[in-house]
């Protein structure tokens, strides 16, 4: 959604993204493993890693899903291919690294975007704020920014830290959304609603 809003405004040229993905993205076993390891940490007991290859509590793992033979994870390839498909930009240059973080719910993305036309941070902020379902959460002077904890339980996508790169016209962004709602259930409901509205089902 964030990329679509920027694409409409200035055309996407190139995207670099590092994701910080919550354990609920791997389903119930991920959530249960983080819970069990967190309890073990507090109890001073050793951490058992069963579902993930290493403990995820108080750690981060540069692996989401499984590795392919070329060293990319299946999640990284999905990120690139699904982004191109959904945006209908089959040639979009998306460079990506996906990381699992010890967060129960809420995926975060650290994104550097290069647009075809120069886009000022203020113009980007306006375009993002006007896009249905996006909320701009961006007031550094008051320490206001998106976090997965803020996004959890909400249907909107939060975006902040919108600023120009120091050395180029590229823009930095930090995006958080509830991966169970907007990343899955809410999105399915919204697509069904739209299909009903259009008389497609």
Residue 48: closest CA among 62, 29, 64, 65: 29
Q: Give the interface segment with a second copy, choosing from 127-135, 154-162, 181-189, 193-201 (CB under 8 A).
A: 154-162
What CA–CA distance (Å, rounded) separates 185 from 88? 22
Is the Cβ of residue 4 or residue 97 nearer to a second copy in the bound state?
Answer: 97
Alpha carbons within 13 angstroms on the beta-carbon side of residue 117 total 10
Separation between Cα atoms, residue 79 and residue 97, nearest integer Å: 9
CB-CB contact of 18 with 97 (8 Å): yes
Question: What string of DSSP letters covers 164-189?
Answer: E-SSSS-EEEEEEE-TTIIIIIHHHH
Question: Among 42, 188, 200, 201, which residue interacts with a second copy (rule: CB under 8 A)?
Answer: 42
Distance CA 150, CA 40 (A): 26
To a second copy, the closest distance from the beta carbon of 9 in angstroms equals: 19
* Neighbour count for residue 51 (Cβ, 10 Å): 17
For a second copy, the binding residue among 129, 130, 149, 189 (CB under 8 A) is 149
Q: Note whether 7 binds a second copy by CB under 8 A.
A: no
Q: Which stretch binds a second copy (CB under 8 A): 127-135, 165-173, 179-187, 193-201?
A: 165-173
Residues 106-145 touching a second copy, rule: CB under 8 A, are 106, 108, 110, 112, 121, 140-141, 143, 145
| 54 binding a second copy? (CB under 8 A) | yes
Cα–Cα distance for residue pair 39/36, rounded to 1 Å:
5
Q: Which is nearer to a second copy, 62 or 189 (CB)?
A: 62
With binding defined as CB under 8 A, does residue 16 bind a second copy? yes
Backbone angles phi and psi of 42, in degrees to 5: -70, -35
Contacts to a second copy from residues 63-102, by CB under 8 A: 63, 67, 69-72, 80, 93-95, 97, 99, 101-102
Residues near a second copy, by CB under 8 A? 16, 18, 20, 34, 38-39, 41-42, 53-55, 58-63, 67, 69-72, 80, 93-95, 97, 99, 101-104, 106, 108, 110, 112, 121, 140-141, 143, 145-150, 160-163, 165-168, 170, 172, 174
């Amino acid at each position: 959604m964030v990329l679509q809003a920027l694409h409409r405004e200035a055309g996407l040229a190139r995207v670099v993204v590092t994701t910080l993905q919550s354990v609920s993205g791997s389903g119930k076993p991920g959530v249960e493993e983080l819970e069990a390891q967190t309890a073990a940490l507090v109890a001073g007991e050793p951490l058992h890693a069963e579902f993930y290859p290493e403990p995820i509590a108080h750690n981060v793992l540069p692996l989401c899903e499984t590795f392919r033979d070329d060293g990319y994870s299946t999640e990284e390839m999905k990120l690139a291919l699904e982004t191109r498909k959904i945006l209908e930009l089959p040639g979009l240059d998306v460079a990506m690294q996906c990381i699992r973080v010890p967060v129960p719910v809420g995926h975060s993305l650290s994104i550097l975007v290069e647009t075809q036309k120069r886009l000022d941070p203020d113009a980007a902020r306006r375009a993002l704020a006007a896009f249905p379902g996006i909320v701009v959460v961006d007031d550094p002077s008051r320490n206001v920014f998106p976090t997965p904890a803020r996004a959890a339980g909400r249907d909107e996508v939060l975006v902040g830290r919108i600023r120009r790169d120091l050395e180029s016209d590229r823009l930095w962004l930090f995006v958080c959304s509830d991966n169970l709602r907007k990343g899955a259930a809410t999105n399915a409901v919204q697509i069904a609603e739209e299909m009903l509205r259009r008389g497609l089902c």
